[in-house]
């Protein structure tokens, strides 16, 4: 049986070097607890010698229950021409009181002579002295050989000497870093094999960046060449183009290559963890992210859907539930009746016999998408269309009249007012409301009128509004598509409207959003 691959997460340190990503100490602790529950082997909390926030995080983490995941403090080797016990960076690492520390040192001679401006031998001493000192304090020491692959290609002998220096200090694990992210997969595999054979018995790790889009592939190649540890971040967050995405790495290692890295039961939490970290980072989840993205198991083409109804393996490389994701069937002008029948079953709708209803719905969808509708992005409107086509939906209200006035005063302020008259059964209601734009005013007036009849309408709110000009040659008379996202305490849904008049398109999407809310309630 092959040895388990160790997963080293650096989301809280290297991941925060990505643009627009910043975690408070409290947020770091929440992510740490989630990663510990997932079962990763090492959680790099930050660089305690670089800022007060990271030191505060390590103080907070001491009282947290983190199961078995060792919290790791990160830092550099000692500075040039100073004793390790006098180096404030190494002292900060010890003050973090983690069982494991990771330190990086230069493995590319260019960085030693031109960036640090020190002799090559002094750099080797910095590596050896730092590892030896931290080991003397009872720490497990991981040495990150920074820029190793570039260094190896530029000066193979010196790059290997930096590894020797770390080993002489008794480093526990040597991690080879593709810091610039520019190394090809074939080179990674070849170089890792050389290092493994040069230093038999020394556990190796890989730390890859994604500048060529190869970080995951390079990490997997390194494991196949003998690496026992993979470093990366959740969702691939990190500097420039990011780090290796641990979500894809874990799924590929365990589900594709048969290399155990987490407990089997925990693999199903990958989608949950990916979205949890995305939420805290305040970055929308990437729909196309492998394994865990919302589109990872989404099927649109009629031929595809027909096949997965018979055998999901035909168009899915794994069972979506294996990583905590789920299958989605989309409906568009590419759809066939299989898509409609799948969605009807999913929605609990009854279709007529002999496939009549499904063929009728497909024809209507294709005609509407030709006019500019987009039902794969508006499943709320799709469900309503299907219910209307099968006689399973009755409109809960009717519009009798609508007037919108948009006024701009001399101070440049814009105020919109909407007056609306609706009927619900035999009763009529007329009301007016203001808004910060015509659509907002219509929304406010419609809700105000309906709340008397449907009190639960107050639970929903509009959270996103998008307008797209479908074809610009007609100028301001061009047809536009409006997509609206709404939510209540339980669900999120999207609706669509299309017209040459942006107010009319907005009305269609807005009414559908309210119809959907009332229908599902």
Domain boundaries defined on the chain: 6-262, 298-369+379-388, 397-453
pLDDT, residue 409, reads 77
397-453: CATH, from 1.10.3470, 2.20.28, 3.40.50, 3.30.160:
3.30.160
- CA proximity to 178, closest of 153, 141, 203, 142: 153
Q: What is the distance between the alpha carbons of residues 41 and 403, in angstroms, rounded to a whole number?
A: 62
pLDDT < 70: residue spans in the chain: 1-2, 65-69, 332-335, 352-356, 472-477
pLDDT digits (tens, 9 = 90+) for 236-283: 999 999 999 999 999 999 999 999 999 988 999 999 999 999 989 988
CA atoms within 13 A on the CB side of 305: 20
3-state secondary structure 377-391: HCHHHHHHHHHHHCC
Task: Give me the pLDDT at residue 475, please.
Answer: 60
Q: Residue 286 has what DSSP assignment?
A: P
Q: How far apart are CA 476 and CA 500, in angstroms?
A: 9
Beta strands 71-76 and 42-46, pairing class: parallel
CATH architecture for the domain at 6-262: Alpha-Beta Barrel (3.20)
DSSP letters, 420-468, are: EEEEETTEEEEEEEEESSHHHHHHHHHHHHHTTT-GGGGG-EEEEEEEE
Q: Are 508 and 385 in contact (CB under 8 A)?
A: no
Sign of the alpha-carbon torsion through 128, 134, 135, 136: positive
Long-range contact pairs involving 121-128 (C-beta distance under 8 Å, separation at least 24): 122/80, 122/81, 123/80, 123/162, 124/161, 124/162, 124/165, 125/165, 126/77, 126/78, 126/79, 126/80, 127/77, 127/162, 127/165, 127/166, 127/169, 128/165, 128/166, 128/168, 128/169
Please state, in angstroms and rounded to a whole number, the distance separating the CA atoms of residues 20 and 100.
29
């Amino acid at each position: 049986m092959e040895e388990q691959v160790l997963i080293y997460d650096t989301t809280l340190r290297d991941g925060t070097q990505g643009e627009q990503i910043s975690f408070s100490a409290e947020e770091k602790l929440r992510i740490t607890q989630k990663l510990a529950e997932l079962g990763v082997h090492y959680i790099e909390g930050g660089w305690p010698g670089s800022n007060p926030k990271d030191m505060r995080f390590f103080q907070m983490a001491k009282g947290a229950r983190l199961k078995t995941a060792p919290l790791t403090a990160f830092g550099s080797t000692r500075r040039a021409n100073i004793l390790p016990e006098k180096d404030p960076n190494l002292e900060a690492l010890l003050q973090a009181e983690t069982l494991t520390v990771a330190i990086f040192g230069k493995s590319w001679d260019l960085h030693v002579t031109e960036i640090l401006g020190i002799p090559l031998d002094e750099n080797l001493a910095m590596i050896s002295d730092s590892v030896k000192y931290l080991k003397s304090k009872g720490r497990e020491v991981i040495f990150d050989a920074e820029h190793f692959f570039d260094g190896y290609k530029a000066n193979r002998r010196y790059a290997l000497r930096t590894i020797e220096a770390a080993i002489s200090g008794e480093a526990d694990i040597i991690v080879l870093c593709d810091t610039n992210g520019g190394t090809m997969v074939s080179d990674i595999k070849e170089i890792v094999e050389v290092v493994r054979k040069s230093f038999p018995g020394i556990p190796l790790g890989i730390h890859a960046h994604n500048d060529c889009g190869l970080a995951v592939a390079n990490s997997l190649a390194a494991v196949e060449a003998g690496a026992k540890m993979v470093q990366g971040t959740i969702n691939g967050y990190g500097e420039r183009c990011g780090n290796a995405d641990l979500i894809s790495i874990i799924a590929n290692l365990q589900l594709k290559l048969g290399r155990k890295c987490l407990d089997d039961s925990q693999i199903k939490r990958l989608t949950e963890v990916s979205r949890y970290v995305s939420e805290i980072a305040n970055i929308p989840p990437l729909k196309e992210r492998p394994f865990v993205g919302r589109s990872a198991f989404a099927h649109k083409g009629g031929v595809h859907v027909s096949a997965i109804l018979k055998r999901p393996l035909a168009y899915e490389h794994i069972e979506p539930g294996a990583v905590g994701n789920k299958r989605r069937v989309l409906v568009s002008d590419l759809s066939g009746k299989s898509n409609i029948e799948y969605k009807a079953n999913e929605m609990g709708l009854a279709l007529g016999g002999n496939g009549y209803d499904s063929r009728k719905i497909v024809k209507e969808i294709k005609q509407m998408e030709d006019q500019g509708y987009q039902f794969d992005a508006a499943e709320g409107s799709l469900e309503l269309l299907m219910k209307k086509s099968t006689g399973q939906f009755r409109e809960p209200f009717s519009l009798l009249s609508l007037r919108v006035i948009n006024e701009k005063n001399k101070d440049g302020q814009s105020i919109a007012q909407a007056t609306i008259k609706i009927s619900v059964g035999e009763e009529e209601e007329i009301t007016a409301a203001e808004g910060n734009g015509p659509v907002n005013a219509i929304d406010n007036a419609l809700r105000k009128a309906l709340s008397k009849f449907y009190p639960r309408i107050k639970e929903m709110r509009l959270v996103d509004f998008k307008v797209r000009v479908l074809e610009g040659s007609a100028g301001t008379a061009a047809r536009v598509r409006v997509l609206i996202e709404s939510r209540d305490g339980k669900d999120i849904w999207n609706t669509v409207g299309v017209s040459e008049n942006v107010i009319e398109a907005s009305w269609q999407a807005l009414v559908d959003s309210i119809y959907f809310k009332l229908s599902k309630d």
